[in-house]
Amino acid sequence: MLIGTAEQNALVARMAERLPARYEGSTLRLGDGTREPSQNTALGLVHYNPLAPSRLVFWVASPDAAAYRADALVPQLLGAGPTGVDLLVTRATEPSVVLTRSFDSRWGWVSREGSPALPPSGASREPLARMLAESARRAAGADFAFAYDSSPRAPTPTFTPGSIRLADLAALLYYEPIGVMTLTGAQLAEARLALAQTPEAHLQPEPDPARLDPKKSYRIAITGRQIWPVVGTTHLAPEAYVTTKFETASALLRSGFVGL
């Protein structure tokens, strides 16, 4: 694990010329030709070690000291669990993703050509959470879906429109299975009231209480990382729960930025 830029870390300086990203004065340069202003950015990279190619390095770097704080976004996103992202650039002073990149099995850049850019409305947490929920709902063929725009175990950042593409977002959601729980209309109504007490929690689409049949069964899509916060908020005991063959990333890639 390497912490610091080439100017801050002597070991990073030794391998800097052979890493696929580097800070050069006021510019952050990636090996695929991308250039970003270095101000207020933090870099996270998982790559083979140029000095010992059979080993990996996890490199966190920034010219801004704020990027090394305990709750910084780079280690939360790259170190919290499975991810398809190998290179991540965030804002140093706020939980916002600037761009992501991935490598193929030969350490070449995975092509992003043809992947649509995140529209401006996707920069806000709730619209983005609803869009992801709608993708899961459609994939699972459910009546509703849970949308959480933040959770204690899965911090949800904001994203920079124009820099983030559909493929980048999908890579961050690597291996997140979609499940479906079955609830009666009465249970769903109770869950709706409980979620209303939590500003970051929603149902997609919002059910009309007057149209919910208390005895009818409804299918609600829920992703793997949502189970803990949803159950903690609603104390649900569903009649049935199944894990589908779908994952959030594949559902998103299939439906696109639906609703944004």
Question: Would 204 be classed as within a structural domain?
Answer: yes
Question: Would 108 be classed as within a structural domain?
Answer: no
Question: Would 91 be classed as within a structural domain?
Answer: yes
Interval 160-190: pLDDT, tens? 887 889 998 899 888 899 999 999 999 999 9
Write down which residue in 69, 101, 133 finishes a domain: 101
Same domain, 81 and 137: no
149 vs 242, more confident: 242
Same domain, 97 and 135: no
Same domain, 127 and 225: yes
41 vs 172, more confident: 41
* Tally of structural domains, the chain: 2
For 139-156, what is the mean pLDDT?
Answer: 79
Burial class (CB in 10 A: 0-12, 13-18, 19+), 131: buried
On the question of pLDDT at 155 being above 60, the answer is no
| pTM of the predicted structure, to 2 decimals | 0.87
State how far the alpha carbon of 9 is from the alpha carbons of 68, 74, 118, in Å: 14, 18, 35
Q: Are 157 and 188 in contact (CB under 8 A)?
A: no
**Nearest CA-CA partner of 83 in 178, 179, 169, 3:** 169
For 82-96, what is the mean pLDDT?
Answer: 91
Write down which residue in 74, 101, 128 finishes a domain: 101
Same domain, 140 and 86: no
191 vs 123, more confident: 191
For 41-63, what is the mean pLDDT?
Answer: 96
Question: Would 260 be classed as within a structural domain?
Answer: no
CATH no. for residue 138? 3.90.780.10
Give pLDDT, residue 152.
Answer: 46
Same domain, 163 and 199: yes
pLDDT tier, 11 (very low <50, low <70, confident <90, very high otherwise): very high
Question: Would 115 be classed as within a structural domain?
Answer: no
Range of the domain at 211: 120-255
Interval 199-254: pLDDT, tens? 889 999 999 999 999 999 999 999 998 998 899 999 988 889 999 999 999 999 99
Same domain, 97 and 144: no
Average per-residue pLDDT for the chain: 91
Question: Would 114 be classed as within a structural domain?
Answer: no
Same domain, 80 and 158: no
Give pLDDT, residue 241.
Answer: 95
Give pLDDT, residue 150.
Answer: 65
Question: Would 113 be classed as within a structural domain?
Answer: no
Same domain, 153 and 71: no
Same domain, 87 and 165: no
Same domain, 89 and 27: yes
Same domain, 166 and 53: no
Type of residue found at 221: A
7-16, 68-77, 95-104 — which one is most confidently predicted on average?
7-16
On the question of pLDDT at 153 being above 50, the answer is no
On the question of pLDDT at 80 being above 80, the answer is no
Same domain, 176 and 86: no
On the question of pLDDT at 8 being above 70, the answer is yes
